[in-house]
Amino acid sequence: MYYFINRKKRNDWWVKAEPRWQRALMEAGVICPGCWRFARGVTPGAIDARVTFLPPSRGFDTVYSTPLCVMRRELADIVSRHTDELVWSDAILPDGQPSAHHRCAHSRDEVWLRGGRGSYVESMCPACGRPDYTEEGQMYAIERQLRGREVAMTRRHLLLVSERVRAEIEANKVTGLAFFPIEVRERAIDGFPDDPADWTPDMVGWCALRRGAPAASL
């Protein structure tokens, strides 16, 4: 069993990115202007996130409209012991100083959480052509994407941790976190190919539950 980590107060505001910093990354071709993920072919090094809103109590969050997440240093210290696939950086506050309480991270290899047969591809990004997938029902991960890793990051920039890492986080009493269980399956059950790289534009709007799915994926 794995768990994804989110902020404890789910209705709270996301961490706000500094708009000029966001625009600069898009203009430099680092972030896709359509889906706010890293642009195709870009595997960046450390990127300090410039934020306009970051309460010290925030345990974990995504940085709005960017492919980065931000977490308290106590959590970052634990996570970093179990993975070498995350790239670490600082959260720069409005006064220009790095946060003393938080670190930022992004992943070199994202994991897609999948849903059931009511899931669908809403669209393809008009800028980079990657799918906008909506998972319906109980979410799960595919075993071969995880590759036995203790820590991974999802395409929505949430942390995915093993039972062992969750136990260590709880033992260290890191606050401000919520854990949601994620099952691991051998194959996808949403009617789409296991590897999102195999998805094509003709799959937009497909829903295996309501409209059928491409025969090759069933």
- Among 12-16, 108-112, 165-169, 190-194, which range has the highest average pLDDT? 165-169
> Does residue 22 sit in helix, strand or coil?
helix
Is residue 15 very low, low, confident or very high in pLDDT (cuts 50, 70, 90)? confident
The confidence score (pLDDT) of residue 216 equals 39
Q: Which residue stretches of the chain are H helix?
A: 19-27, 73-80, 143-146, 163-171
Q: Does the reported pTM lie above 0.85?
A: yes
How many Cβ atoms sit within 10 Å of the Cβ of residue 198?
Answer: 12
Is residue 12 very low, low, confident or very high in pLDDT (cuts 50, 70, 90)? low
Whether the predicted pLDDT of 171 surpasses 90: yes
φ, ψ at 77 (rounded to 5°): -65, -40
Percent of the chain clearing pLDDT 90 (strictly above): 58
The one-character DSSP state at 125 is -
Q: Which long-range contacts (CB under 8 A, 24 or more apart) does 99-102 make?
A: 99/54, 99/56, 101/56, 101/72, 101/73, 102/54, 102/58, 102/70, 102/71, 102/72, 102/73, 102/76
pLDDT tens-digit series, residues 21-71 = 999 999 999 999 998 899 988 878 899 999 998 888 888 998 988 899 999
